[in-house]
């Protein structure tokens, strides 16, 4: 398990996109696991235990669900249920029988520092997550938001613009300091650290899409 920041860790695994990353968000209120097809190894689990375990598990959409009993194993070890969008339930249940809690199109303010935003992309239940830690805001996007230089690529279902439009407008005005996709080419760092220029270009891309 790689320590990216003082309270943010990630676990990587080979993927057809290069590398898939799952993230452990270390919080006083309880640690969160944001999964993207890369399950913690035995060594990772031992380290996670030392860091306080896992309070809850999250997937942006059903394609990010861990298989081979990984979600169930984490629940057995730490008591952490899996959170996903209600529209992805049938596909999620085919991959895991872990106890779940669901959210809907209205998103979810799970805690003062962690919110779910509805962002339908390849599935009708796709969401992204925004986390505040130590004055910085982290966006976990699965494959919905990528950067190419100072230009941003936003992936969403245009047929659901009536539902995603408000999210685009809201996020364009919100603070974002880092963007963490779930998947990254093997030769890239796997996340984007925003400066004034890239922050403005992301807000501009969202306003244009809305």
Chain-wide mean pLDDT for the chain? 93
Distance between CA atoms of 100 and 103, rounded to whole angstroms? 10
Question: What is the residue whose two structure tokens read 């992301």?
Answer: 202
In terms of DSSP H, where are the helices of the chain?
Answer: 42-50, 70-78, 89-95, 161-173, 196-209
pLDDT (average), residues 83-112: 96
Residue 15's pLDDT band (boundaries 50, 70, 90)? confident
Question: What confidence score (pLDDT) does residue 160 get?
Answer: 83
Main-chain dihedrals φ then ψ at residue 9, nearest 5 degrees: -125, 155
Question: What confidence score (pLDDT) does residue 150 get?
Answer: 73
Helix (H, G, I), strand (E, B) or coil at 169: helix
For the entire predicted model, the pTM comes to 0.94
Q: Which residues contact 93 (CB under 8 A, 6 or more apart)?
A: none
Q: Are 57 and 35 in contact (CB under 8 A)?
A: yes
Question: What confidence score (pLDDT) does residue 129 get?
Answer: 97
Q: Are 32 and 25 in contact (CB under 8 A)?
A: yes
| 153-165 pLDDT per residue, tens | 999 888 888 888 8
Q: Which residues contact 91 (CB under 8 A, 6 or more apart)?
A: 62, 65, 123
- The yes-or-no verdict on residue 149 having pLDDT over 80 is no
Q: Are 105 and 126 in contact (CB under 8 A)?
A: no
Residue 188's pLDDT band (boundaries 50, 70, 90)? confident
User: Token pair for residue 113?
Assistant: 């520092």
Cα torsion 174, 175, 181, 185: sign: positive
pLDDT (average), residues 15-28: 92
Where does residue 105 rank: exposed (0-12), middle (13-18), buried (19+ CB within 10 A)?
Answer: middle
Question: What confidence score (pLDDT) does residue 189 get?
Answer: 85
Q: Are 71 and 57 in contact (CB under 8 A)?
A: yes
């Amino acid at each position: 398990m790689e320590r990216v920041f003082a309270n943010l860790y990630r676990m990587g695994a080979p993927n057809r996109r290069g590398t898939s990353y799952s993230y452990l968000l270390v919080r006083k209120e309880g640690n969160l696991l944001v999964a993207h097809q890369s399950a913690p190894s035995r060594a990772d689990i031992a380290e996670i235990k030392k860091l306080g375990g896992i309070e809850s598990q999250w997937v942006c959409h059903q394609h990010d669900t861990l298989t081979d009993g990984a979600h169930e194993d984490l629940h057995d070890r730490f008591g952490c249920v899996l959170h996903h969008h209600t529209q992805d339930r049938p596909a999620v249940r085919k991959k895991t029988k872990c106890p779940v809690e669901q959210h809907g199109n209205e998103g979810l303010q799970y805690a003062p520092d962690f919110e779910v935003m509805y962002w339908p992309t390849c599935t009708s239940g796709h969401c992204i997550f925004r986390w505040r830690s130590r004055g910085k805001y982290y966006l976990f996007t699965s494959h919905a938001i990528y950067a190419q230089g100072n230009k941003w690529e936003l992936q969403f279902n245009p047929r659901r613009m009536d539902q995603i439009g408000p999210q685009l407008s809201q996020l364009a005005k919100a603070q974002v300091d880092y963007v963490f996709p779930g998947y990254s080419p093997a030769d890239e760092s796997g996340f984007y650290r925003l400066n004034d220029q890239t922050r403005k270009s992301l807000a501009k891309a969202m306003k244009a899409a809305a």
